[in-house]
Structure 1
Amino acid sequence: MKKLNELFTTENEMAVYSIHSDSRYVLPHSIFFCIEGLTVDGHQYVEDAIFQGAKCIVHSRELDNYHPKIQYIKVSNTLNELNRVADLFYDSPSSKMKVIGVTGTSGKTVVASFIHQVLNEYCKAGYIGTLSLMYNNAQIETPYTTPETVFLQKHLFQMAKSDVKVVALEASSYGLALGRIDGVDFDIAVVTNIGDEHLEFHGTKEQYVACKQKLFEKVGPNQYAVINNDDHFARKMKEVTKAKCISYGMNEKSDIMATDVLLSLEETIFNLYIGDQINRIRTPLLGIHNVYNLLAVAATLKAVGSDNEMICQSLQKNFQVQGRYEPYTSYYGAKVIVDYCHTLQNYKDIFQFVDKTKNPSARVFVVLGLPSKREIRNREKIGELANYYVDHVIITRSDERGESLQAIGAMIQKPIVDIPSIIIEDRQIAIEQALQLASKDDIVMVLGKGHEDFMALETGKVAYLGDGTIVENIIKYEGELENELQWND
């Protein structure tokens, strides 16, 4: 609880028990901030907020009605005020912990999750991002990769109260653009890579890069910026930061480097250079992109003060992020990879990885489904990649959001002219079909949902068993069926 005059320049000492920017969740004796969002203007919901119990309204435009028992505070920018007040209301929680912000087009979840898993072995650590919010063995679903301001500050407060020492936070381009982390104090900023995604939101590549740079503007001279030296646009983070930079890469000279990389479907091996020290790293993580992810983790661990031995030991642990290059082996010996795969580059990376590492005689099957109303321009491009790299394509459901699967599938299928492709409505049946067709040493890629346990509709969501769970159930069923057949014989 705070008094209103602790949050604003006013003589009103009214007790404030909560703050809100969504009128649906307003509680008695609270402040409601009229945030002008992308599609909704909070000024339209002032009366709803008052009905719910708000006693103070923070607004930037004139209102239709003013109630005598309600405190009104007019400001020039309600979002800036929300960030300032939320930080004050929750006692500036980010200043009481080391906060590591991870941004980039892809790899954010893997890097942030690995940082959390590694540091959690040495101190109380937290994670906030795509997978959920995690600390003290608790797991809380988050509405967005980077949660909105009040949710974020509230849970950072709970973390600080629970003696969490370090938090790995995914900083998405949406979260940065919408000012959700403007009130967070960051100690380390990390960038994975900058691709051509999300331009439907940001408009141009330059605006997208500028949005990512906001994170690096927030770290100061005594803090650290972790930069991918091999990515031209990621290097642009150096232009705006005052922080001490730690670079990583494989091609450009960097503080932390990987060379002599050996890829396989079972593991990845490479030489890790930390300054002049060389170490041979063996990891169960698959793919060249995961080498970059591990380099980002190594550079971040260096920034928090870890020694080289601890870094090398950490990179070789059997950490796995749910739904990210998650490996399985079917009962009949086919290799199965489940991956979230939400950008065009992700598809290209996994197709090329499988193509380079598979047995020459192996067939490659892919089950994929692309979300509607997003990345429409990439549908045919993904179809082109599939036509070039795989042998069989099964197109299925994935977050339709009101658009028919047949319409989505037709665009993907258009460039698939050299190999068989089919549309199967039910995603579970599509995965079953692929595993039934695959023989020993064949490869099945199940792409597009990863860790997600829901399907997004035009309005709302419906529960979904999950790609990994479905694959596990099929493998278990194949084993039980085979045992039953042998017993009957």
Structure 2
Amino acid sequence: MNLKKLLENFPFAVEIKGKSDVGILGLSDHSKNVGPGFVFFARRGKNYDGNEYVEEAYLAGARVIVSDMYNPFLSKEVTQVIVPDITLAACRFSDVFFELPADKLYTIGITGTAGKTTTTCLIRHLYGSDRPLAMSTTIERRIGELSFPSSLTTPNQIELQKFFFDAAARQMYGAVLEVTSHSLMQNRLGSVRFDQALFLNLSPEHLDFHHTMDAYFAAKQRLLDALKPGAAIIYNADCPYMRTMKREGAFSFGSDPGCDLSGKVVQESEEGVEFILSYSGNRYEGKAPLIGAFNFSNVMAALSSALISGYALETLLSRLMSFEAPRGRLERVPNTKGTIFVDYAHKPEALREVLLSLGKLRKRRLIVLFGCGGDRDRQKRPVMGKVAEELADVVIVTSDNPRSESPKAIIDEILMGMSGHNAIVIEDRRAAILKGVHMMEEGDILLIAGRGHARQQQVHGNMIPLDDVEVASQGSVHA
């Protein structure tokens, strides 16, 4: 690809300092990922300025720098493209360089406060090998048997287009991905358009960014602007916000018999849920190896997607039986005394749903261990403390990912929502997990909530190895 080609029919005026007849081998907005012949996009973020890494990108091989300012000190070997909007420029470059790969795939976008990862994995599983789907989640990006850790739930424009490009090159039928409210506000999707949009649920989250629930919902609704002509809209009719997605041609799922796909859980156990479905005037019985009624909503969302794509419900219910939950989503840790679960629940409503489900399964005590992330929505901290105290028999309050904040200060804000009568405070998360495991007695359930699949903890700018599943496993061996 040539720079001149990338700049053809550009949507806004640019200033070029240097030659435009330059061969392009790749795109990146991270200096560590730059290689010879790359274009480097010097983005400005909340806590960084890409212009400070231009020299590093040049030394790594970048021959074109896209920025909103001219750098007179940069080597004349580098062509500088000065633009008013780095994000839009990255979108345009990615579209042309990767040749709009999403248009060659059947694309499914999933948004909602909770359940996006599980639903994404469910859809990939249900479509099966006959229609293989690449997927992008909070945990990983997967194309066939290839898997890469995710740094962002929804990748930026460059990474997203490369993801679609690689999926098309490996002859995937399509791609399913989580779409966050942040990504919609920050235009990370660029020109990507979807064949299906799923709207799962909405509860308070990211209000430090969106400020109000109405603004949060408005951000989610932006997914409607990223649909292909004739795209399917699937919504959860049990959620008051998502119910407003009702329109001609939209597909609804929920507990109301009037939904296109309706259902209810008839039995919950540690092995999963048993349920009844109603679809096209017929009644179906099924089982899912997922714990909790809240997961049944994710199951119905995934089934809705596959039904719209033409699958028979009998086939889907059979495939559902072999599904394995993603890492860190009510993941069970072997223990001889009771049952240990590690889960990603880090929002009040998610914690409430998990505790309610596990409360139905306990034979003795329900112990919950959790914290709250630093540099994030502070309003939810006392709310989560209140939820934990109301629904668990024993509460261990500890650190989550404190980031730049004081772990103690975060814990103090959690405790503001609690009476403190049954709270054990242990700031060090590893020590807290070991304490929780060691205090278990026959029949207890221990929920380790908040970080799920994470393998590192962010403390004062440092990434410290910490895997909740691994620590709980070690504690169980020595308990």
TM-score (norm 2): 0.90
Other-structure match for 1:471: 472
* 1:329-340 pair list within 5 angstroms: 330-332=335-337, 334-340=338-344
Shift in CA distance, 244/305, structure 1 to aligned 2, threshold 3 Å: same
Q: Partners of 2:239 and 2:76 in 1: how far apart?
A: 57
Q: Partners of 2:238 and 2:294 in 1: how far apart?
A: 12
Residue 348 of structure 1 is aligned with which of 346, 352, 356? 352
Other-structure match for 1:214: 222
Shift in CA distance, 280/26, structure 1 to aligned 2, threshold 3 Å: same
Secondary structure in 1 aligned to 2:163? helix
Residue identity in the other structure for 1:129: T
Q: Partners of 1:194 and 1:13 in 2: how far apart?
A: 49
Other-structure match for 1:486: none
**Mean alpha-carbon deviation: is it higher for 166-175 or for 147-156?**
147-156
Residue 154 of structure 1 is aligned with which of 148, 162, 167? 162
Q: Partners of 2:367 and 2:140 in 1: how far apart?
A: 30
Q: Does 1:456 align with 2:458?
A: yes
Other-structure match for 2:304: 299
- Count of aligned positions: 470
Other-structure match for 1:487: none
Shift in CA distance, 335/23, structure 1 to aligned 2, threshold 3 Å: closer
Q: Does 1:128 align with 2:132?
A: no
Please state how far the C-alpha of 1:50 moved relative to its aligned partner.
4.3
Please state how far the C-alpha of 1:195 moved relative to its aligned partner.
1.4
**CA-based RMSD:** 2.5
**Mean alpha-carbon deviation: is it higher for 174-183 or for 35-44?**
35-44
Please state how far the C-alpha of 1:163 moved relative to its aligned partner.
1.4
Unpaired runs of at least 5, structure 2: 10-18
Q: Partners of 2:454 and 2:32 in 1: how far apart?
A: 26
Q: Partners of 2:65 and 2:368 in 1: how far apart?
A: 53
Unpaired runs of at least 5, structure 1: 479-489
Q: Partners of 1:58 and 1:431 in 2: how far apart?
A: 47
**Mean alpha-carbon deviation: is it higher for 131-140 or for 311-320?**
311-320
Other-structure match for 1:30: 38
Other-structure match for 1:413: 415
Other-structure match for 1:6: 5
Cα contact 1:223–1:244 (8 A) shared by 2: no
Shift in CA distance, 3/272, structure 1 to aligned 2, threshold 3 Å: same
Residue identity in the other structure for 1:269: E
Secondary structure in 2 aligned to 1:327? strand
Q: Does 1:325 align with 2:327?
A: no
Q: Partners of 2:93 and 2:141 in 1: how far apart?
A: 22
Other-structure match for 1:278: 283
Please state how far the C-alpha of 1:46 moved relative to its aligned partner.
4.6
Residue 386 of structure 2 is aligned with which of 384, 387, 393? 384
Cα contact 1:406–1:423 (8 A) shared by 2: no
* 1:81-480 pair list within 5 angstroms: 81-238=89-246, 244-251=249-256, 253-328=258-333, 330-332=335-337, 334-359=338-363, 362-417=364-419, 419-464=421-466, 466-478=467-479
Residue identity in the other structure for 2:469: G
Secondary structure in 1 aligned to 2:375? coil
Cα contact 2:70–2:80 (8 A) shared by 1: no
Please state how far the C-alpha of 1:228 moved relative to its aligned partner.
0.9
Percent of matched pairs sharing the same residue? 26
Please state how far the C-alpha of 1:68 moved relative to its aligned partner.
5.6
Q: Partners of 1:13 and 1:471 in 2: how far apart?
A: 57
Q: Partners of 1:81 and 1:153 in 2: how far apart?
A: 14
Secondary structure in 2 aligned to 1:220? strand
Cα contact 1:230–1:252 (8 A) shared by 2: no
Please state how far the C-alpha of 1:122 moved relative to its aligned partner.
2.7
Shift in CA distance, 82/378, structure 1 to aligned 2, threshold 3 Å: same
Please state how far the C-alpha of 1:339 moved relative to its aligned partner.
0.9
Residue identity in the other structure for 1:100: I
Other-structure match for 2:28: 20
Cα contact 2:287–2:317 (8 A) shared by 1: no
Shift in CA distance, 344/76, structure 1 to aligned 2, threshold 3 Å: same
Deviations 1:189-208 (A, max 9, x none): 11111111001112322222
TM-score (norm 1): 0.88
